[in-house]
Amino acid sequence: MSERLDDFPPVRIAAVTFAPVEPLAAHRRHLDLPFPLLADPQRAVYKQFSLGRGSLTEIWGPGTLSLYRDLLRRGRKLRRPTQDTRQLGGDFVIDDDRRLVAVFRPRSPDSRPSVDELVAAVGRST
């Protein structure tokens, strides 16, 4: 996604993770993120946006397994997870008046919205 950030209209972007605060600065540098990466270890934001945990079959379904297979074929080394792999994420567009204008709550890690869908949602909010 970072290679497509110029496609977005002028907006503020932030990412929220349930990881502890300590590793976030290094993770942000590693991913070369030009936006804040915020820690929510108590998952208050996750609860506020109704982001629960997926079942094992939702998380490790055919789409996720296919994604990991493709990463392995491209030479990516997989590491043992250190976080909660069942926590579901989400993507939200909030306008300047703090209204929620787009909601994406995928039921599995492989069904996140495309960058084009996010760009379109942001465009509708401006």
| pLDDT the model gives residue 62 | 93
- DSSP-assigned beta bridge partners for residue 104: 91
pTM of the model: 0.75
CATH of the domain at 19: 3.40.30.10
Q: Counting Cβ atoms within 10 Å, is residue 118 exposed (0-12), middle (13-18) or buried (19+)? A: buried
How far apart (Å, rounded) are the C-alpha atoms in residues 36 and 59? 26
Q: Which domain holds residue 47?
A: 2-125
**Is pLDDT above 70 for 9?**
no
Q: Which of 52-66, 90-104, 109-123 has the highest average model confidence (pLDDT)?
A: 52-66
How far apart (Å, rounded) are the C-alpha atoms in residues 73 and 68? 9
pLDDT digits (tens, 9 = 90+) for 19-73: 888 888 888 888 888 888 899 999 999 999 999 999 999 999 999 999 889 999 9
Q: Which letter does DSSP use for residue 107 in this model?
A: S
Number of domains in the chain: 1
